[in-house]
Structure 1
Amino acid sequence: MSIYHRIICFFLFSFLGYLLECVVLSYENKRLVINRGFGHGPFCIIYGFGAMGAMILLKPLSDNLLLLYLASAMMATIMELITARMMIKLFGSFWWDYSRKKLNYKGIICMESTIAWGFLGIFYFYFLDGFVNQMAGVVPEQLERFVALSLLTFYMADFIYTMRLQLKSSCDEDDATLIGRLKVY
């Protein structure tokens, strides 16, 4: 499997994560939510990193459902915590809010999501990984490099643009507003 195929898979997982976030939040908020990524494109790259991390770290546990569930729940929750901490440090906010959910930590992580992450890990190994690899396989081998580099270029341009907007927005606010701000798209 080429690096280009892996990059396409990464973005497919990121896109599916974006769709999952939009569906879950639309249901929870009882209104359509269509922007769940950091940038302007339809990607939540934490799902791409989660899928790649699961492939590398959790593959040895894929035959043991209980261990796979627990490790998936723990890995995704830690990723969510680290991501939120980075976003708070950079922007003074993070892009979700679990403060109304039971058993949450500072609105950043909660038991409900941790439980869901465990099931998502099982779903990943028993269905999603094969499906995404098949979807990426639809791209002709001679076009893999072009598609992968185009996705990377688009995402990097979008990321840099959004990062500049977010940092400017953070700098324009006074400290009291910044501390209290929570951005949920």
Structure 2
Amino acid sequence: MSIYQRIICFFLFSFLGYLLECVVLSYENKKLVINRGFGHGPFCIIYGFGAMGAMFLLKPLSDNLVFLYFASAAMATLMELVTARMMIKLFGSFWWDYSRKAFNYQGIICLESTVAWGFLGIFYFRFLNGFVEQLAGIVPEQLVRTVALSLLGFYIADFVYTMRLQLKSACEEDDTTLVGRLKVY
């Protein structure tokens, strides 16, 4: 696969993660949730990074379901923890809240999600990765570069715009303590 096809795969995984988040949260909240990404586009890039990381780091474990399960659960949970910490540091907030779930840590990670991440890792290697690679392969060869760079350009523009809005919002808060600023989306 070319780098451009990998970029398309990254955004396909990010889009599928966005859909997963919207479906799960709509079910849990019993109301329609339609925006779970950081930006305004339909992407949760943590899923793109997770998929790419799994492809490179967990591939050697893909034939052993037990090791793959635990490695996937650990990797995704660590990604959630690191991402939340970065978001709290930058914005005083993070975009999910597990505080009402059993066995959670500061509402950032929880046992229920960790268990689910393990199964998602198995699903990724048994089905999803091949499916996404096939989807990326549908893009005509002469358009792969254009599609990949367009997705990347869109996301960068959206990210910069959203980052500016979030930083401005964080700076305008009256209370400068983390607890006072903490907003969960």
May I ask how many residue pairs the two structures share in their alignment?
184
1:183 maps to 2:172: no
Quote the Cα distance in structure 1 between the aligned partners of 2:178 and 2:58. Answer: 38
* 1:179 positional shift: 2.6
| Superposition map of 1:107-146 within 5 A | 107-146=107-146
Per-residue displacement from partner, 1:16-35 (whole Å, max 9, x unpaired)? 00000000000000000000
Quote the Cα distance in structure 2 between the aligned partners of 1:145 and 1:113. Answer: 35
* 1:64 positional shift: 0.2
| Superposition map of 1:76-95 within 5 A | 76-95=76-95
Question: When the two structures are superposed, what TM-score results if normalisation uses the length of structure 1?
Answer: 0.98
What is the aligned-residue RMSD (CA, Å)?
0.9
| Superposition map of 1:31-110 within 5 A | 31-110=31-110
SS in 1 for 2:123: helix
* 1:177 positional shift: 7.1
Indicate conservation of the 8 Å contact 1:170/1:178, yes or no: no
The one-letter code matched in structure 2 to 1:121 is G
Quote the Cα distance in structure 1 between the aligned partners of 2:172 and 2:138. Answer: 46
Structure 1's consecutive aligned runs of 4 or more residues displaced over 6 angstroms after TM superposition are: none
Quote the Cα distance in structure 2 between the aligned partners of 1:42 and 1:174. Answer: 31
Quote the Cα distance in structure 1 between the aligned partners of 2:175 and 2:56. Answer: 41
Question: When the two structures are superposed, what TM-score results if normalisation uses the length of structure 2?
Answer: 0.98
Indicate conservation of the 8 Å contact 1:93/1:179, yes or no: no
**Structure 2 stretches lacking a partner, 5+ long:** none
* 1:175 positional shift: 2.5
Quote the Cα distance in structure 2 between the aligned partners of 1:80 and 1:135. Answer: 27
The one-letter code matched in structure 1 to 2:3 is I
**Structure 1 stretches lacking a partner, 5+ long:** none
